[in-house]
Amino acid sequence: MAKKPQKTYQELLKRSYLELIQGYCDKGYKLAKYGSVKELGQKYDLYKIVIDPKARKTLLITAGFHGEETKSPISLLQIFDDIVRYANEMRVRLIVYPCINPFGFETGRRYSPSTPRGMGNNDFMRYEIEPDKWVGILKENEPSLSCRIVDSKAREVSLLKHDVLEYRVPEAVLDIHQQKGYLETGETFAYIFDRRPTYKRIMKKVGKIAKIARNEDNPLKDKGREIPSRIDNDGFIEIHDGSITDMFYCLGSIFAVTCETKTDLPLEKVCQINLIWAKDLIKLIAKRK
Ligand SMILES: [Zn+2]
């Protein structure tokens, strides 16, 4: 019988959500359902994968919050065997949500219809900046009185939030995103909260794969509030943006990174960059006493 030809990257980019999930089954991974959503009459079951559940330390990986960032879930599937092999070797548990927003993935739309207008879906926290005045993103060095975790109106994110908070706080979190459009100075950057020297060493490796964006404005909006934000000279944005990484950072995760690649960067490079972040985070937590 003729051998099935390998899919080209171009074909891989046209995958449906079920094909993506099937891709993990084909590689022999066991997926667990944590909920389902119905969007415009179409039902999507939501899945996660847990590798080495008894290992003492955990890397949480999330992909596919934003539908137009298709190479986020696709690259994760491509590099998954390598990540698992390394995590097993380093005795690190992986908790992986391979495609958070299936409707977005299939339609190329950033948000699912259940996401309220003007609100992002990577929306996990509120900060109190004045008594009873709550915002979703803090400006640089903006003090806050308190913070709280909030539920999400985006159904797929609400289900994720409830599920992921059942676990103890992971030592490291990697949220895989992409940037569409206005990135002008490079092809990749990352959101961090601290530990700059450590992440700079990782970024140096990333810089061998693609050009790092530097010194570029990346303004954000939070329910009508303009948030000045800038990719700095090292290719990082340090901002409390209320995202899943921010939530876990505030809950005590030691390492929390959101990696970004331009949507038009070839899949092969996106894979290489995301693999660097995943493996280096595994190594960092495995080394800690
Ligand atoms: Zn994104």
Q: How confident is the model at residue 119 (pLDDT cuts 50, 70, 90)?
A: confident
- How would residue 10 be classed by pLDDT, with cut points 50, 70 and 90? low
What's the Cα-to-Cα distance from 74 to each of 12, 13, 29, 197, rounded to whole Å?
7, 7, 16, 30
The mean pLDDT of the chain is: 93
Q: What is the pLDDT of residue 14?
A: 61
Residue 181: pLDDT band by 50, 70, 90 thresholds?
confident
The domain segmentation of the chain, as residue ranges, is: 16-287
CA of 69 to the centre of ligand 1 (A): 6
Is residue 260 part of the annotated active site? The answer reads yes
pLDDT tens digits, residue range 197-226? 999 999 999 999 999 999 999 988 887 889
Q: How far is the CA of 2 from the centre of ligand 1 (A)?
A: 40
* pTM for the predicted model, two decimal places: 0.94
- CA 236 to chain CA centroid, Å, is 15
pLDDT tier for residue 11 given thresholds of 50, 70 and 90: low
Write down the architecture of domain 16-287 according to CATH.
3-Layer(aba) Sandwich (3.40)
**β 172-179/57-63 pair status:** parallel
Torsion of CA 272, 64, 193, 182, to 10 degrees: 80
Ligand 1 centroid from CA 178, angstroms: 5
CA of 4 to the centre of ligand 1 (A): 34
For residue 54, name the pLDDT band (cuts at 50, 70, 90): very high
pLDDT of the residue at 13: 59
Name the percent of the chain lying above pLDDT 90: 84
How sure is the predictor about 93, in pLDDT bands with cuts at 50, 70 and 90? Answer: very high
The pLDDT score that the predictor gives to residue 219 is 87
Q: What is the pLDDT of residues 126-158, one digit of tens each?
A: 999 999 999 999 998 899 999 999 999 899 999
**Ligand 1 centre distance from Cα of residue 196 (Å):** 22
Dist. CA 89 → ligand 1 center (Å): 30
Q: Is the pLDDT of residue 99 over 80?
A: yes
* Catalytic position from the list 128, 226, 260, 268: 260
Ranges of beta strands (E only) in 111-152 are 125-130, 133-135, 146-149
What spacing in Å lies between the alpha carbon of 5 and ligand 1's midpoint? 32
User: Nearest Cα to 225, choosing from 237, 250, 238, 242?
Assistant: 242
Task: Pick the range with the lowest mean pLDDT from 10-19, 87-96, 100-109, 179-188.
Answer: 10-19
Residue 34: pLDDT band (50, 70, 90) is: very high
